[in-house]
């Protein structure tokens, strides 16, 4: 699940200075020295020593859209689901390859149309019942037959022909055509005996009975809308229990208030979408007991154009400006955007200038336009394009069409995202110089007008998974809604037949190198159609208290992010400060033991200037891809 993000962040899905290659290095733990904190601070040394419950409190700038894994799309929601439920496979925190989850092994038939998964025998639901292949089969079959259940992740099962569970430890998926994502099905597996009692899955938010039955590293115990989500450690989790007794995600509409709470020790960690602003990060760099993590992000920050909202059967709805159906107009607007200025002035260097759809962190799929294809910053060229499109300046300098209607546009903006607001002001200036008016419409809820097609442009962003299929699927014709103004898998109603043909080719291609070529062709097509314009790839800028958290896993290992990972590694591995490794009198490292248990991965612990690196063991039989 994109993890998506993903971050639309219109459904805020669920955003690099270093460019980390996928599949390169061993798992790292970012560890900090222990700094004494308030006696009753969450996870503080004093509290831990006294035997008190250790709580990891995470301040987030995004509220939960749904606790149902069938409906959720925001990054915070999908991140929580990774803690609540196991997936068939997981992504290795070090090199992001597929590793066992609920499935210990998987294999395909020679024709690649039948996939068989071995389901582990040591995973139990939090109500004591064993998790079996029948739970996985029910999850997938429900998504295949119930449109509401397919809201979040329907693209993964669209090619499924049949799913069965012949035994408790065996899941069999039959495909219509080969599908390269069978080791990367980002779908939370839910307990059949609980969910089959639910009536309308399109309306059930999974927030009725607590604790919520799950089999992940944490169990959901409490939730208050637009306030907090509380989870306790699952002591019976098959990979081993988390080190913190509970984790609380606390929603802050005001990011400055979240930073203040971190300074006071009221929360342990601050991040979430869109992350810390450069000013906030700078203010925390030298704060005692606080560490700032500034790493390559897995997100992109883009402008999305309403191409004319429509359903699968072609029914039009919404009120997008018709001028944006003209590719020349779209190109003119994007030519007026100074991406370098956005990186320098808005992100203050904590980002990389935008190009293709997949962030450079995923080097195998990263694409950049050729010199002749690139939409370079060229205000004069933009003005000429608008002239040719029939939008000329009137006596007041405003662009008007042949019908006399002024070219005034609206852009949806997330009220809680300072980057949206800052870039919106620049767009008003740059497009205003062209004679184009722009209303920056900042809202707490951007999903409703987005689904209704009642916008012209929108600030868009997704958290991209190591396998890019999901974020590519949301621009296919199949992602369009069945009925107007309802939740759908589409990002912004794009339906392009050439794009669809390329999408089908990459999905059926098992050779990684050949598939990467097709993925880059998809990005090229998306760029050329001009409905999506990636302006930047923001860093993951986040901070945590070292007197609460002694060590925590980043992903990938070479300086990756902590919040919003493709997995549960950060929160599962986090060690309370009192239980951390500590430097001895001579500065040597005394290890409290690898927090990664039986994963068989490298551990790099950084503490007080000492660095201990253990090389990754060869993959075990269970770790096959």
Q: Could you please report the per-residue DSSP string of 369-393?
A: --TTT-----HHHHHHHHHHTT-EE
Residue 439's DSSP bridge partners are: 410
Per-residue pLDDT for 38 more than 60?
no
Q: What pTM did the predictor assign?
A: 0.81
Q: Is 114 helix (H, G, I), strand (E, B) or coil?
A: strand
| Burial status of residue 503 (CB atoms within 10 A of its CB: 0-12, 13-18, 19 or more) | buried
pLDDT per residue as tens digits for the range 262-298: 999 999 999 866 689 999 999 999 899 999 999 999 9
H helices then E strands: how many in the chain? 15, 28
Residue 303, strand partner residues = 459, 533
Please give the structure tokens belonging to residue 407.
């070219």
Domain definitions of the chain by residue range: 301-343+358-538
Give the count of beta carbons closer than 10 Å to the beta carbon of residue 63: 20
Give ∠ CA 347-607-93 in degrees, rounded to 5.
60
Q: Which residue in the block uniquely carries the two structure tokens 């008016």? A: 437
**Among 445, 444, 440, residue whose Cα is nearest residue 420:** 440
C-alpha span between 537 and 366 (Å, rounded): 12
Tens of pLDDT, residue by residue over 396-444, are 999 999 989 999 999 999 998 889 999 999 999 999 999 999 999 999 8
So what's the pLDDT on residue 509? 96
Q: Give the CA angle between residues 604, 616, 513 to the nearest 5°.
A: 115
pLDDT at 51: 59
Task: Give the mean model confidence (pLDDT) for residues 248-268.
Answer: 95
Quickly tell me which residue has 């090199």 as its tokens.
Answer: 95
Give the percent of the chain with pLDDT over 90: 77
Convert 17-53 to b/e letters by CB count within 10 Å (16 or more is b). eeebbbeebbbbbbbbbbbebeeebbbbbbbbeeeee
Q: Cα–Cα distance between 89 and 103 in angstroms, integer?
A: 6
- Tell me if 222 sits within 8 A of 103, measured CB to CB: no
- Residue that is written with structure tokens 């190198």 in the block: 513
CB 469 within 8 A of CB 485: no
User: Of the ranges 34-38, 196-200, 363-367, 505-509, which one carries the lowest mean pLDDT score?
Assistant: 34-38
Is 301-343+358-538 in CATH node 3.40.50.300? no
Q: Of 540, 472, 477, which Cα lies nearest the Cα of 506?
A: 472
Q: Which residue has the higher pLDDT, 600 or 126?
A: 126
Nearest Cα residue to 5 out of 293, 251, 297, 232 = 297
Three-state secondary-structure class, residue 330? helix
Per-residue DSSP letter, 345? I
Q: Are 180 and 515 in contact (CB under 8 A)?
A: yes
Identify the pLDDT of residue 272.
61
Angstrom distance (rounded) from CA 156 to CA 149 = 12
pLDDT band, very low/low/confident/very high, at 73 (cuts 50, 70, 90): confident
Closest CA to 29 of 616, 611, 623, 620: 611
Residue identified by tokens 């002035």 is 345
Q: What is the pLDDT of residue 91?
A: 95
Average the pLDDT over 45-65 and give the result: 78
Scored b (16 or more CB within 10 A) or e, 559-581 reads bbbbbbbbbbbbbbbbbbbbbbb
CB within 8 A of 199, min separation 6: which ones? none
Burial 582-592 (b: 16+ CB within 10 A, else e): beeeeeebeee
Whether 596 and 568 have beta carbons less than 8 Å apart is answered as: no
Structure tokens at 577: 């400060």
CA 434 – CA 415 distance, rounded (Å): 26
Query: Between β-strands 437-443 and 457-460, what pairing exists: parallel, antiparallel or unpaired?
Result: unpaired
* Closest C-alpha to 334, from 372, 386, 299, 388: 386
Report the mean per-residue pLDDT for the chain.
85
Q: What angle do CA 384, 387, 390 make, to 5 degrees?
A: 155
User: What region, left, alpha or beta, does residue 129 occupy, with left being phi > 0 and alpha being psi -120 to 50 degrees?
Assistant: beta
Q: What is the pLDDT of residue 618?
A: 24
Cα–Cα dist 310/509, whole Å: 30
How far CA 218 is from CA of 41, 85, 274, in Å, comes to 21, 8, 25
Q: What angle do CA 588, 590, 595 make, to 5 degrees?
A: 135
The answer to whether residue 232 scores a pLDDT higher than 90 is yes
Tokens representing 587 are 């500065």
Which is more confidently placed, 232 or 15? 232
DSSP 8-state secondary structure symbol assigned to residue 294: E
DSSP string, 221-254: EEEETTTEEEEEE-TT-TT---SSSEEEEEE-SS
Q: Which two tokens stand for residue 126?
A: 């939090």
Name the packing angle between helices 497-508 and 512-529 (round to 10°): 170
Residue 24 has pLDDT above 50, yes or no: no
pLDDT band at 559; cut points 50, 70, 90: confident
CA dihedral 428, 430, 432, 434 (to 10 degrees): -150
Distance CA 43, CA 55 (A): 6
Q: Is it the case that residue 99 has pLDDT exceeding 80?
A: yes
As given in the structure block, the two tokens for residue 430 are 């740059």
């Amino acid at each position: 699940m994109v993890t998506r993000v993903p971050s639309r962040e219109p459904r805020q899905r669920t955003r690099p200075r270093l460019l980390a290659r996928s599949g390169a290095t061993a798992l790292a733990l970012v560890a900090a020295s222990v700094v004494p904190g308030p006696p009753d601070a969450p996870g503080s040394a004093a509290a831990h020593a006294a035997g008190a419950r250790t709580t990891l409190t995470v301040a987030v700038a995004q509220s939960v859209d749904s606790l149902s894994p069938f409906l959720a799309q925001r990054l915070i929601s999908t991140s929580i689901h990774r803690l609540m439920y196991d997936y068939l496979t997981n992504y290795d925190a070090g090199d992001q390859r597929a590793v066992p989850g609920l499935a210990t092994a998987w294999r395909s038939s020679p024709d690649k149309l039948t996939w068989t998964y071995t389901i582990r025998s040591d995973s139990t639901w939090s109500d004591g019942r064993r998790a079996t292949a029948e739970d996985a089969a029910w999850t997938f079959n429900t998504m295949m037959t119930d449109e509401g259940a397919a809201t979040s992740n329907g693209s993964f099962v669209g090619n499924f022909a049949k799913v069965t569970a012949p035994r408790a430890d065996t899941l069999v998926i039959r495909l219509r055509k080969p599908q390269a994502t069978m080791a990367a099905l980002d779908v939370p597996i839910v307990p059949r005996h609980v969910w089959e009692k639910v009536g309308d899955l399109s309306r059930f938010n999974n927030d009725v009975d607590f604790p919520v039955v799950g089999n992940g590293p944490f169990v959901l115990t409490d939730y208050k809308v637009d306030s907090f989500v509380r989870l306790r450690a699952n002591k019976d989790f098959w990979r081993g229990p988390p080190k913190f007794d509970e984790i609380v995600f606390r929603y802050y509409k005001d990011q400055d208030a979240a930073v203040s709470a971190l300074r006071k020790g009221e929360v342990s960690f601050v991040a979430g979408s869109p992350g810390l602003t450069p000013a906030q990060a700078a203010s925390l760099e030298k704060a005692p007991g606080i560490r700032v993590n500034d790493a390559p992000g897995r997100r992109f920050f883009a402008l999305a154009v309403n191409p004319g909202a429509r359903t699968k059967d072609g029914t039009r709805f919404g009120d997008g400006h018709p001028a944006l159906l003209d590719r020349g107009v779209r190109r003119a607007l994007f030519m007026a955007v100074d991406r370098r200025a956005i990186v320098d002035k808005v992100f203050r260097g904590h980002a990389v200038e935008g190009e293709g759809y997949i962030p450079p962190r995923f080097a195998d799929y990263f694409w950049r336009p050729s010199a002749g294809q690139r939409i370079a910053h060229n205000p004069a060229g933009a003005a000429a394009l608008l002239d040719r499109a029939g939008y000329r300046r009137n006596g007041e300098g405003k662009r008007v069409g042949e019908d006399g209607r002024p070219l005034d546009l609206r852009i949806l903006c997330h009220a809680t995202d300072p980057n949206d607001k800052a870039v919106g002001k620049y767009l008003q200036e740059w497009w205003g110089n062209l004679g184009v008016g722009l209303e920056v419409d900042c809202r707490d809820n951007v999903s409703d007008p987005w689904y209704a097609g009642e916008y012209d442009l929108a600030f868009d962003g997704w958290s991209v998974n190591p396998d890019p299929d999901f974020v590519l699927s949301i621009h296919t014709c199949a992602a369009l809604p069945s009925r107007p103004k309802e939740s759908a898998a589409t990002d912004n109603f794009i339906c392009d037949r050439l794009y669809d043909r390329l999408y089908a080719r990459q999905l059926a291609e098992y050779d990684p190198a050949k598939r990467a070529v097709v993925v880059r062709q998809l990005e090229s097509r998306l760029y050329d159609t001009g409905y999506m314009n990636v302006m930047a790839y923001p860093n993951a800028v986040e901070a945590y208290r070292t007197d609460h958290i002694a060590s925590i896993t980043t992903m990938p290992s070479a300086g990756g992010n902590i919040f919003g990972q493709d997995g549960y590694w950060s929160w599962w591995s986090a060690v309370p400060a009192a239980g951390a490794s500590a430097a001895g009198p001579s500065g040597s490292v005394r290890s409290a033991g690898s927090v990664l248990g039986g994963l068989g991965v490298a551990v790099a612990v950084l503490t007080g200037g000492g660095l201990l690196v253990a090389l990754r063991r060869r993959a075990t039989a269970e770790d096959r891809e």
